[in-house]
Amino acid sequence: MDFNLGEEHLAVRDAAADFARNELLPGIIERDNAQHFDTALIRKMGELGFFGMMVSPEYGGGGMDTLAYVIAIEEIARIDASAAVIMSVNNSLVCWGLEKYGTELQKQKYLVPLASGKMIGAFCLSEPEAGSDATSQHTTAVEAEDCYILNGTKNWITNGNTSSVCLVIAQTDPDKKHKGINAFLVEKGLEGFVVGKKEDKMGIRASDTHTLMFSDVKVPKQNRIGEDGFGFKFAMNTLNGGRIGIAAQALGIAAGSFDLSLKYARERKTFGKPISEHQAIQFKLSEMATKIEAARLLVYKAARLKDEGKDYVMAAAMAKLHASDIAMWVTTEAVQIHGGYGYVKEYHVERLMRDAKITQIYEGTSEIQKLVIARELLK
């Protein structure tokens, strides 16, 4: 498997890195403090094509492969994990599933504006009593004459307030269990659709995370994704691809922390010489770099397998498991290398450490990834 990057992938990497440094870095501490979702910056990301990277040009997307997408995610997350998760949800969890399984009408109405960034999407699976367990849906969608009546609550929803359309997973026929689950495109503004409280989070604070509530919301039948009962399979297939995006985000957070640590180690002096000349610091930097590179290879492998149409489920789970654990470890070491300066916001590593933790949680905890890997190994 060749991981040498061609001109197109290098151009994507450079464009994402330039945008992150020049547009996202200024004001990032203030956005984190204020939990401010900057719509102007998000709009710029859409204009640059970051929200529909893998979408076919037929629907206004970039027509790029998964590898190009994860390269861009890594570069954005090096600087701003909040922007990276907004981008990841729109690309992996909304656009990908809609293009692969949606009708032509759904694609024209929703995918085209989602790919351009004119519209932001949200993926609604988690519930107060069901995290990533798509089989335990308490949100219901009861079939009526010309619509489905949607009732329930979804929480931890990224882009919850700023999204224009949500992919909602709901139980239509409880007797059929997972075969009675469906996925629906639900527009904001429908009667009974209420955006609840904004979560006050430890990390990725500049992305908006809300509870969404549905009370007798009438969803047109034409907004159902796929055949009746396809929702569980839709959610699982979407989450498999989503894990690659989260792994890339974790990789970027780790890489950004390492960049800052390397720079600081060269500049900070103790006992008359840069701390980079102390063996203890050299050991830390060496191990950080090695673990980041191993995570990058796992992420790239999962992306390549997906692009080649091969089974990537285990590779995606491995990439997500390893990269998220490495992100947490590397950011902790980065704070340690910075010493007291690492504990203050000015040096950025404390924010990256807070941002890293969520990568071990969303798209399934580390324990869920291990179950996925074990299931694939024991097939």
Give the integer Cα–Cα distance in Å for 229 and 12.
38
| Tokens at 86, concatenated | 């907004």
Tokens 């956005």 identify what position?
31
Give the integer Cα–Cα distance in Å for 48 and 205.
23
Structural element, H or E, at residue 329: helix 313-338
Q: Write the DSSP string, 100-116.
A: HHS-HHHIIIIIHHHHH
If one counts every other C-beta atom within 10 angstroms of the C-beta of residue 121, the result is 25
Give the integer Cα–Cα distance in Å for 50 and 197.
28
Give the integer Cα–Cα distance in Å for 276 and 153.
51
Angle between helices 231-267 and 279-307 (to 10 degrees): 150
Give the integer Cα–Cα distance in Å for 120 and 282.
43
Four-point Cα dihedral 264, 268, 270, 276, nearest 10: 40
CB neighbours of 367 closer than 8 A, spacing ≥ 6? none
By CB neighbour count within 10 A (0-12 exposed, 13-18 middle, 19+ buried), where does 118 fall? Answer: middle
Structural element, H or E, at residue 19: helix 7-19
Give the integer Cα–Cα distance in Å for 61 and 156.
27
Q: Is 363 a catalytic residue?
A: yes
Q: Which of 127, 333, 350, 363 is catalytic?
A: 363
Give the integer Cα–Cα distance in Å for 233 and 298.
25
| Helix extents (H) in 163-271 | 231-267
> Which sequence positions are flagged as catalytic?
363
